Structure 1
Amino acid sequence: MLVSGCQVFSGSEETGHGLMGTGDLGLIIERATGSLLVVNTTSHSVINRIEGLGDLSHASVVYSRDARYGFVFGRDGGLTKVDLLTQSIVGRVIQSGNSIGGAISQDGRYVAVSNYEPGGVKVFDSKTLELVADIPATYTRQNGEAAQSKTVGLVDAPGNRFVFSLFDAGEIWILDMPDGAENSKPEVTRFDAGKAPYDSMITPDGRFYIAGLFGEDGLSMLDLWDTDAGVTEILPNYGKGEQQLPVYKMPHLEGWTVADGRAFVPAVGHHQVLVADMNDWSLVDKIPVQGQPVFVMASPDNRRIWVSFAHPKNDVVQVIDSQTRKIIRTLEPGKAVLHMEFTPRGEEVWVSSRDSNRVTVYSTHTLEPVAELEAQKPSGIFFTSRAHVLGL
């Protein structure tokens, strides 16, 4: 039975939920209106709408350790702290001209933002949003001129570290934040990464940071347990000898899947999902799919891989069995599918369809829709279970 959940309440006292925890709450980005929906995953309901968050055309969210506060990174450089229980903005700073995501430190003290303009990473106190560190992404061009690079692929790593890539400089940086000791300061370590790293992910154990390279076929990997080894190349020339297609939208590597000892990776410019053996990072398979993959995500039990796509074939989601590596279902959630998010224990997945103005909830067991929620040009979906997951 498909249930529609589209009512928006005017305040937490009117939700009918009374006192509630944040464990089954989440935020949905309404990108065109600069607003958020606070949703309840158990009841498939919209609790409230929060407005006034600026440009959310490429927005993402991380959560405080207690999962009460969401930190929203807007494309206009805005960093906004929202309270899910009161459904209100409790702090907001415009920290750059153009930002592209962020992360929260392992201990929850620091929120870092990755910037295109002027280029670099800024780190803020998660309680007050006061600036703690400003790390310009400076490098030297081949002609000797000094410049600042766009920063991308920012993730949190164990030990209160942030790791990110410099698109223009072709580097990966590790930022070690102070541990609370007197006179401790942020420290930066730099590594050569390859040509034009565009996005990245960190493996669930926090060991490997992997950056996709837009300028070449292949990926760069940094072992955070053994940084003396530097960056190594994995899956080299995976597209060599094949005709590469125009890239309409860059894949999101944070949506990579690690399942059954293998990594499932979106191929840039190809209608393929790559499968790598994580023991030696060799390429073991190429799964043909209907379009250029953007998100390649595993359900929490790792049994199925869910794939979304770039324009123009972005109205479907394909589901792959992780053992047979075969497509078992093609779903049609709506027009312009942008994001998917699994509920904390994986019984459902929520899928946003921007141009259909809705979010469709699917059972991961039956692969059938169970609910729909109305939303204004929805994009990213972020549940509070992310508060307890590394690299998200």
Structure 2
Amino acid sequence: MKPFAFCLPLLWVAATPAFAADPDAAAALYQTHCASCHGETRLGGIGPALLPGNLSRLKPAAAVDVIANSRPASQMPAFGETLAEGQIEALAEWLYRPPAVQPRFGEAEILASHTVMHPDGSLPDTPRFDADPLNLFIVVETGDHHASLLDGDTFERIHRFETRYALHGGPKYTPDGRYVFFGSRDGWITKYDLYNLEVVAEVRAGINMRNIAVSGDGRYVMAANYLPHSLVLFDAHNLDVMQVYPVENAAGKSSRVSAVYAAPPRGSFIAALKDIKEVWEIPWPLPTESVVSTGHMKTPLAPSRDPALESFKVRRIAVPDYLDDFFFDPGYEHVIGASRGGQGGMVVNLDSGEKVADLPLKGMPHLGSGITWEQNGRRVMALPHLGRAEVSIIDMGTWETVKTLETDGPGFFMRSHENSPYAWVDVFFGPNRDRVHVIDKQSLEIVETLTPEPGKTAAHVEFDRDGEKLLLSLWEDDGAVIVYDGDTLEELKRIPMSKPSGKYNVWNKTRYEEGTSH
């Protein structure tokens, strides 16, 4: 998922009291009341980092409310009776100003953050619960910064545990499903042992992190940062740092990283850059034997590849435009990308490095939520738009638009499964956010529109490993995860949760099942 970047409105600055014109006074307030938890340089501590890029989900008015009244399920005190209203507003406004000196976060800082609670191999190898370890779900609850582990057969909650603040980019599993890695917006990577229900290691990769990726063999983790402009490679066993890649072009211009993904058929990580017109490919060492997935990925996880692609060395692929959002075909031969400022997309062949097609997509296509399936003998991809009430369906052989479906509002997430006849898409933005559409994958028609609970946001579907049942979020503080029958569309169960966002099934994510994000 890729939320909008936040820009400080001019009206907010104009409405701020005169006290805010004195940044030294606001900085003094911060040091007195905030630094002990959020760090003297605003990089975070017990509390999250408080820098403009880390606050993109929190609007200034909401920041004032949090300072004054605290936040549910947090240790933060309320300052409404300690500070005057003008002081609170000035402090909040100051937090959205970039620091005078850009904070540093390099290898020394990464090493200093590293903690290993349980070294790899030190905990029992048998799960502490009776459930299929490949049909588990992790549900991220953003309302109070927790995650729930669900049995994908019974949909009973196995465990609920606290996470870092503002998880972002989706958790990633090792291929056996035992370990899951979480990434937070303020740069923390947490390795969690699902068999033993314990955090086993943590490290901070950066100040403002976009997402993490885990290699197809589960041996390496890579983090993509906005701040600093870097990619960071870790050994997955104990999260030891292996290499820090400053992200810049040949001319020395640096760039934020839009995202990084693992491409198992290629044996490499693929990263798109926000401020440089390049895609980077970074191969990991291949094991001695190929491993073939039993899911949707039909190509080996450890393919033979060009020997010129040396392990952990950057291969630069020039592209015609910046890539904020991107998607891959099933074999990871092509990257389909788009820039937030553009009005379309492009298809780049990763082997040749050449653009092979333009896609006339308007309304900020959400390629990161794209899915594919076989439709009447051809493979199509479908994606919602963040700025238009439609779903685009594209022939992946010709790269031409097959159909544009009108929806009840702009959408954020689209999901399906190889064994399901349906694709689900929400209408996350706009007045109809309580609805979700069900699309027949062969007729390409909306066959049902569900309203799980009027007035409450319905979003983000994830199927179980067999594609028989699915989970849908009521994305509210007093929300729930709803279990549906994938064929009859009948509601089967509701599990109360605190603003549940993404659900992540071990089988679908590790077998790269079609219809889910990777």
Provide TM-score, normalisation by structure 1. 0.84
Distance 1:377 1:110, change over 3 A: same
Q: Deviations for 1:77-131, whole angstroms, at most 9, x for unmatched residues?
A: 1111111122221111111111122221122111112222112321211111111
In 2, Cα distance between equivalents of 1:59 and 1:338:
16
Q: Deviations for 1:242-276, whole angstroms, at most 9, x for unmatched residues?
A: xx5xx6xx725244233322111223522111111
Distance 1:337 1:132, change over 3 A: farther
Distance 1:21 1:365, change over 3 A: closer
Task: Please list, as runs of the form range in 1=range in 2, the aligned pairs for 1:149-160 lying within 5 A after superposition.
Answer: 149-152=256-259, 154-160=261-267
Could you tell me which of 117, 130, 137 is aligned with 1:26? Answer: 137
Q: Does 1:333 align with 2:452?
A: yes
One-letter amino acid matched to 1:383: N
Task: Please report how far the alpha carbon of residue 285 of structure 1 lies from its aligned counterpart in structure 2 after TM superposition.
Answer: 1.3
One-letter amino acid matched to 2:265: P
Task: Please list, as runs of the form range in 1=range in 2, the aligned pairs for 1:1-392 lying within 5 A after superposition.
Answer: 18-51=129-162, 53-139=163-249, 146-152=253-259, 154-179=261-286, 185-224=311-350, 227-235=351-359, 237-239=360-362, 251=366, 253-260=368-375, 261-301=379-419, 303-312=421-430, 313-334=432-453, 335-355=456-476, 356-385=478-507, 386-389=509-512, 392=518
1:27–1:38 CA contact under 8 A, matched in 2:
yes
Secondary structure, in 3 states, of the residue corresponding to 1:253? helix
> Which deviates the most, 113-122 or 171-180?
171-180
1:317–1:332 CA contact under 8 A, matched in 2:
yes
Q: Deviations for 1:197-249, whole angstroms, at most 9, x for unmatched residues?
A: 2222222223222212222222222223xx225233331x334xxxx5xx6xx
Secondary structure, in 3 states, of the residue corresponding to 1:197? coil
One-letter amino acid matched to 2:464: T
Q: Deviations for 1:325-347, whole angstroms, at most 9, x for unmatched residues?
A: 11111112342234221101100
In 2, Cα distance between equivalents of 1:180 and 1:346:
31
Task: Please report how far the alpha carbon of residue 20 of structure 1 lies from its aligned counterpart in structure 2 after TM superposition.
Answer: 4.2
Aligned to 1:14: none
In 2, Cα distance between equivalents of 1:304 and 1:180:
37
Task: Please report how far the alpha carbon of residue 153 of structure 1 lies from its aligned counterpart in structure 2 after TM superposition.
Answer: 5.0
Aligned to 1:6: none
1:299–1:306 CA contact under 8 A, matched in 2:
no
Structure 2 portions without partners, runs of 5+: 1-127, 289-309
Structure 1 portions without partners, runs of 5+: 1-16
Secondary structure, in 3 states, of the residue corresponding to 2:408? coil
1:102–1:155 CA contact under 8 A, matched in 2:
no
2:170–2:502 CA contact under 8 A, matched in 1:
yes
One-letter amino acid matched to 1:209: V
Q: Deviations for 1:349-391, whole angstroms, at most 9, x for unmatched residues?
A: 1011221421011111111111111111111111111122287
In 1, Cα distance between equivalents of 2:208 and 2:149:
25
Distance 1:145 1:104, change over 3 A: closer
| Greater helix share, structure number | 2
Structure whose CA Rg is larger: 2
In 2, Cα distance between equivalents of 1:279 and 1:179:
30
In 2, Cα distance between equivalents of 1:60 and 1:258:
22
Task: Please report how far the alpha carbon of residue 290 of structure 1 lies from its aligned counterpart in structure 2 after TM superposition.
Answer: 0.9
| Greater strand share, structure number | 1
Distance 1:276 1:160, change over 3 A: same
Secondary structure, in 3 states, of the residue corresponding to 1:147? coil
Task: Please report how far the alpha carbon of residue 21 of structure 1 lies from its aligned counterpart in structure 2 after TM superposition.
Answer: 4.1
In 1, Cα distance between equivalents of 2:411 and 2:175:
32
Sequence identity (%)? 25
One-letter amino acid matched to 1:387: T
One-letter amino acid matched to 1:381: K
Secondary structure, in 3 states, of the residue corresponding to 2:282? strand
Secondary structure, in 3 states, of the residue corresponding to 2:281? strand
Distance 1:149 1:213, change over 3 A: same
In 1, Cα distance between equivalents of 2:452 and 2:199:
31
In 2, Cα distance between equivalents of 1:127 and 1:277:
40
Task: Please report how far the alpha carbon of residue 35 of structure 1 lies from its aligned counterpart in structure 2 after TM superposition.
Answer: 1.5
Aligned to 2:61: none
Task: Please report how far the alpha carbon of residue 166 of structure 1 lies from its aligned counterpart in structure 2 after TM superposition.
Answer: 0.6
One-letter amino acid matched to 2:158: I
Secondary structure, in 3 states, of the residue corresponding to 2:352? helix
Distance 1:362 1:21, change over 3 A: closer
1:119–1:151 CA contact under 8 A, matched in 2:
no
